[in-house]
Structure 1
Amino acid sequence: MGKITGFKEFERQDESYTPVVDRVKHYNEFTVPLKEEEITKQGSRCMDCGIPFCHSGCPLGNLIPDFNHMVHQGEWQKASWLLHSTNNFPEFTGRLCPAPCEKSCVLGIIEDPVSIENIEKMIVERAFKEGWIKPQPPKVRTGKTIAIVGSGPAGLAAAQQLNRAGHTVTVFERDNAIGGLLRYGIPNFKMEKGVIDRRIAILEAEGITFKVNVNVGENYPVEKLKDFDAVVLCGGATVRRSLPTPGIDADGVVQAMDFLTQQTKVVFGETIENQVLATDKHVIVIGGGDTGSDCVGTSNRQGAKSVVNFEIMPKPPGHRSPTTPWPFWPLQLKTSSSHEEGVERNWLINTKEFITDENGKLTALKTVNVEWKMVPGERPQLIEIEGTEKTWPCDLALLALGFTGPESTIADQLGLEKDARSNYKAEYGKYQTNVPNIFTAGDMRRGQSLIVWAISEGREAARQVDIYLMGKSDLPTKDEAGDLVAL
């Protein structure tokens, strides 16, 4: 424990943002880091609990009190070592994770929790700046070859772990650059892509081979995967949810991920024919999650005339709901930096029709207010409220409704079993499909989830692959208590 009374003396401080009027003019990150003196104070707020519930909140089992203590002591290099011992890519989670660790922080019962995510980000940024993060190629190669399909956080984590075990790893990515949804699904203003590039450079120097524009099952026959001793499928859950609503095919109804991907590619110099733009349009974003928030921020940067957000669920409470007590993930209203940049948010509203002109172009949305009827033992029922119909002017509707599961192409061609939710079937903790040398991890196995779960599953799947190939493994894992162990 760095300072016994730190949690009593210092209030939580987070990094700030540049003014809205300035940041909406560009697509770069806009956070203002805390000074080192303030970060050390934030580290001292950690109480080093006898039972650190932050561990249970984090799927990675990060050694949070330990690196908080090192930050308070000014031992930044040790903090970096501790952080990287459980998390391959803290620069990703430090920017993008919703921080379930903070929601289960013991201090959070009575005060604002420790700013764990920001401390994590500051540690890894300091480590890159000081040159502490260096390639660690294996000293001995096993002669075993492994194919990783998908270069999102699960695929990258599995690749690094298996490479460290001495196997020869090739990562296949169907897009034109490495990173999966980290690259094109996350706006540049939330994470600049140089953050990905510098980590990929480390992985390449460690001996991992990356191949882009390779779509396994399409322009790369699945039969070629038989050339590898093992395969890890980390293609994500990329089938986008739509709406069974009249007019859904109108010109102007666009999937959010297409909208976001196009803009990020344009930021990096690509030419997109017929790019979907929010400029001078009335934009309605349907879906209140993180992707919806990203659409709001991007629409404002493109110069939308107005931005409105629809969510079919009730408005969450401003504070933790009694239905989700500590240390569980709370039902609580989230206001992102993009929301603060300008949006009209609406809850308990359902889209009934996309209205078009004679040319099929979107001109408006028709909606109705709804309520949820809860009957014990039954699924919630959506009830429309009579007399609440409304028509909204709309030139661009962005569908930010999440994903229903992974694409089935590879599973169908390889004869892999899928579960009832269309995910690639593999037991949690084993990650092995019904084809013995084929494993799967991340959203492709568990469905749409968090970046920390993707990294965790990639690490754990790597260990199971190593055991399958070698009969044992020295790669680290987590025991049921969430503590780091090596078996």
Structure 2
Amino acid sequence: MVKEKVLDLANHISNKKRGSKNEIKATDPEYMILEPVVTDEMAEVVLCMEIRKKVTAKDVAPLCGKSVERTEELLLELADIGVCFVNEIDGVDTFWYETWVPGIMEMMTNNKKNVEKYPQIAKAFEAYGRVRGPKTAGSFPVGVGLMRVIPIEHAIEGETRRASYEEVSKYLKDNDIFSVSDCSCRTVREVMGEGCGHLKEDMCIQMGHAAEYYIRTKRGRQITREEAFEIIKRAEENGLMHQIPNLDGSGKTHAICNCCGCSCLSLRTASMFINADMVRSNYVSKVDQDKCVACGECVQNCPVNALQLGQKLCSKEPVITEIKRTETPRDTEWGPDKWNPDYRTNRKDVVDTGTSPCKTQCPAHIAIQGYIKLASQGRYREALELIKHENPFPAVCGRICPRKCESECTRGDIDEPVAIDEIKKFIAEQDLNVNHRYVPKIKHDYGKKIAVIGGGPSGLSCAYYLAIQGYKVTVFEKENVLGGMLTLGIPSFRLEKEVVNAEIQILKELGVEFKTGVEVGKDVSLNDLRNQGFEAFYMAIGACTGRKLGIEGEDAKNVITGIDFMRDVNLGKDLKLQGNVIVIGGGNVAIDVARTASRVGDTQVKMYCLESREEMPALPEEIEEALSEDIEINNSWGPKRIIIENGIATGVEFKKCLSVFDESGRFNPTYDENNTAIVKGDTILLSIGQGMHWGNLLKDSKIQLNRNNTVKADAITLQTDEADVFAGGDALTGPKFAIDAIALGKEGAISIHRYVQPGQSLIIGRDRKEYHALNKETLDLQGYDDVKRQSVGHVDGSKSKQTFKDLRGTLTEEQMKKETQRCLSCGATVVDEFLCVGCGQCTTKCKFDAISLVRKYDGEGVAYEDLKPVVIKQVLKRKVKITAKKVTKLFK
């Protein structure tokens, strides 16, 4: 049943008449937000008031036919609901109402009790901008919108034309009373189940009369000016930007909002309706392409996706250096065909013509150009920080990374790829020094308990990023040591345990708790952990079991999987092999197994694999290291049977492999069954792959497994069929490299953060990291230097095979700097100047002084009372432009 007086009030606030063409109806958001909490009697009081005109109960009582006492009661109720402001002026409570937005709708949403009871309040606030927003397209000049972006102040410090009304500090210094509340927009999104995970708590600052009102009605808590400045700083650190209500006149406002592009209902105007003029500051971003190294930090943090990564190398084909819009609402009729309704899920990181191949190819999309440039400048700690935005274990990866970035490095098309991994290794050495290492700042204190199951690279990565967010993380590891396959599967001559432990130590400093020797599913169940208060789980148990061949004789005592063998060696068990050792397999693990076997006794080690030398999955440098240590590699042989005498394996019969893959590229080996060879062996080590061992971990859960025994989970969110369980690393993908597992660990942390916060979406506002590389075939690579790739020097195999120490060196500082100069700096950020709202968040993330805010406009705010003629003038000018544009097209 419609509340007629409340509907009258909705029209009154909107300055509409009942029965008119544009009247507010009972289905409109203006009525819907009032309906659950405003009574007809309350409405009768406000119907006697005028917008932004201050009155007392004594003033209104005779107009609404109620006693002063009853009128005051109703006005105080309205103030508590959020329809009216209340301040004590000259000792008397004084009331007035504002516009819908900014004003009534935010205030009503900040009454948490009512929003919890009546979610339609929040939904109506969201609907208001979505329904009314399109009508504002092109109608407001720059600087005159209902809300206005205020640049991050140090982003405009060097601008000689800046005005005080563009400085956050001006507003804080102009006021003496302050309060802070949760962000109303992010509250709305939470209620709708569309939260984006950005920090909501204590993010919006009220000042002056608004602060007095917020404190009095308990919408916010009182803070000092110093605390307000700290909130501004924390907002900027968390990737948020500043906006102010813009209807008090130039240089005046009563609030500073700290906003994100994925939830803010004001910024939606720019991103969804492509109407940036409605909210923008007077500034736009400019990129100095000579300085830019395409690290992507600005792109990831731009609230409106006005920045994307492109290229700056010369090309035979046109390259996108600026995103230009041929149509804007300034001179074009603007309808749904021009909008971007999916702006919260279709953000682009890269322009259509692509960006640097190294960042694209890296599974974690680390800012490779960025850390190379910082290293060249001797800024090693900053380089370390940049790496750790995507990879918490640079020292580990500097020793075992598959170097996918190098395989695609553009420099390789000239001579040799940049030694990216060696540069990273040099930088990462800083992380091993307690005096120089980088320990990130914890962003917040959520206090919620999260369990990570598996202490390998993916689990540790997830724990690292959750700890930074402010969660109480406990890692459960069934072994007595941490690191997973980093510790138990990789030999020390490739990755010394001190390196792994040094990087794990940083997690301990971040507050991560570790419980080793605890197998979840055996010693404690998922339900036990839920009962202990753990709110979400990340499963990353790793592919920790070796696979068998399925052939005769493989169950003999001296036939061992390579995984079990490496675990025993790394746990320090006293293993002594003698005689002939046969290693079956041709991957990196098989190489590790063979090289380890040569070190644990008086042995002669031979490897046999299906693949030809060119097809071997092991990295070329690993193959060379094995050969240098006198390990014999026999290609194109597959095991037929293991020969047993008296229960002991004495050798392997191999058959010649003719091809490994069929015409469609699937693994489907074919053999010459008549071409066989028997090889004597005292120990047979099987290194043909790894598998999962779940134990009872999944008992009584809804979690499903794939045919290959990996867990089924969403490809983007990593969520399993148990809503509170997420999975990553080898448990999800099967055996891959550590860097792949690390990348998934971060994604798992993002999902878990969103999952445990009420009302958050696992998808909305999420960076999909969909990178693609520039087309190297079109590049003009003439005229570059011929500086040779720097090398740490060859390790003498006769020496390396005598020790478990890692004898590989690190580039000298001089070598490292020479090598950084070989980088072609393929990528650079490009800007959509129209879409850019001039917030300056990009400048706070750039370590290269490559992006700045430049003043382009001269718009000032206009008081509500003076707004109408300004808008009418703009609407008329726009109509003239649209008509002129149509006429021009007719005569083309």
> TM exceeds 0.5?
yes
Partner SS for 2:601: coil
Matching residue of 1:357: 645
Per the TM alignment, residue 130 of structure 1 is displaced from its structure 2 partner at its CA by 6.8
Matches within 5 A, 1:313-328: 313-316=611-614
For 1:187 and 1:406, how far apart are their aligned partners in 2? 22
1:124 to 403, 408, 428: 428
Structure 1 residues 429 and 347: CA distance shift in structure 2, 3 A:
same
1:84 to 379, 385, 388: 388
* Residues 1:231 and 2:537 aligned together: yes
Matches within 5 A, 1:170-189: 170-189=474-493
CA contact (8 A) 1:432 1:438 kept: yes
The Cα offsets for residues 128-171 of structure 1, whole Å up to 9 and x where unpaired, read as 33723254463642121100000111000100111111111100
For 2:482 and 2:601, how far apart are their aligned partners in 1? 29
Partner SS for 1:410: coil
For 1:97 and 1:414, how far apart are their aligned partners in 2? 35
- Whichever residue aligns with residue 342 of structure 1, its letter is D
Partner SS for 1:432: coil
For 2:631 and 2:689, how far apart are their aligned partners in 1? 20
* Residues 1:277 and 2:565 aligned together: no
Partner SS for 1:371: strand
* Residues 1:305 and 2:596 aligned together: no
Per the TM alignment, residue 408 of structure 1 is displaced from its structure 2 partner at its CA by 5.8
* Residues 1:339 and 2:635 aligned together: no
Matching residue of 1:269: none
Matches within 5 A, 1:137-152: 138=442, 140-152=444-456
- Whichever residue aligns with residue 420 of structure 1, its letter is R
CA contact (8 A) 1:356 1:363 kept: yes
2:496 to 192, 195, 207: 192
Name stretches of at least 5 consecutive residues in structure 1 with no aligned partner. 5-46, 267-271, 319-328
Matching residue of 1:439: 726
CA contact (8 A) 1:356 1:362 kept: yes
For 1:453 and 1:373, how far apart are their aligned partners in 2? 25
* Residues 1:468 and 2:755 aligned together: yes
CA contact (8 A) 2:544 2:563 kept: no
For 2:382 and 2:441, how far apart are their aligned partners in 1? 21
Matches within 5 A, 1:11-410: 51-129=355-433, 131-136=435-440, 138=442, 140-226=444-530, 227=532, 228-266=534-572, 272=573, 276-278=575-577, 280-316=578-614, 335-358=623-646, 360-372=647-659, 376=663, 381-405=668-692, 407=694, 409-410=696-697
- Whichever residue aligns with residue 246 of structure 1, its letter is E
Partner SS for 2:697: helix
Per the TM alignment, residue 48 of structure 1 is displaced from its structure 2 partner at its CA by 7.8
The Cα offsets for residues 242-271 of structure 1, whole Å up to 9 and x where unpaired, read as 1111111112100111111111222xxxxx
Structure 1 residues 134 and 478: CA distance shift in structure 2, 3 A:
same
Partner SS for 1:453: helix
Structure 1 residues 247 and 130: CA distance shift in structure 2, 3 A:
closer
For 1:79 and 1:88, how far apart are their aligned partners in 2? 12
Partner SS for 1:224: helix
CA contact (8 A) 1:138 1:166 kept: yes
Matching residue of 2:284: none
The Cα offsets for residues 94-118 of structure 1, whole Å up to 9 and x where unpaired, read as 1111110101111112321011111
Q: Following TM superposition, where does structure 1 have runs of at least 4 consecutive aligned residues deviating by more than 6 angstroms?
A: 329-333, 472-476, 482-486
For 1:217 and 1:331, how far apart are their aligned partners in 2? 36
For 1:425 and 1:62, how far apart are their aligned partners in 2? 27
* Residues 1:415 and 2:702 aligned together: yes
For 1:140 and 1:125, how far apart are their aligned partners in 2? 29
Percent identity between the aligned chains? Answer: 28
Per the TM alignment, residue 291 of structure 1 is displaced from its structure 2 partner at its CA by 1.1
CA contact (8 A) 2:521 2:698 kept: no
Partner SS for 1:56: helix
The Cα offsets for residues 217-238 of structure 1, whole Å up to 9 and x where unpaired, read as 0122232121311111111123
CA contact (8 A) 2:604 2:631 kept: yes
CA contact (8 A) 1:429 1:461 kept: no
For 1:475 and 1:208, how far apart are their aligned partners in 2? 27
- Whichever residue aligns with residue 696 of structure 2, its letter is T
* Residues 1:480 and 2:770 aligned together: yes
For 1:68 and 1:48, how far apart are their aligned partners in 2? 17
For 2:660 and 2:431, how far apart are their aligned partners in 1? 52
For 1:366 and 1:56, how far apart are their aligned partners in 2? 44
Partner SS for 1:243: coil
Per the TM alignment, residue 381 of structure 1 is displaced from its structure 2 partner at its CA by 4.5
Partner SS for 2:641: strand
For 2:650 and 2:682, how far apart are their aligned partners in 1? 5
CA contact (8 A) 2:588 2:622 kept: no
Per the TM alignment, residue 420 of structure 1 is displaced from its structure 2 partner at its CA by 3.3
Structure 1 residues 336 and 225: CA distance shift in structure 2, 3 A:
farther
Partner SS for 2:642: strand
The Cα offsets for residues 168-195 of structure 1, whole Å up to 9 and x where unpaired, read as 1100000001111111111111111111
Matching residue of 1:30: none
Aligned residues: 422
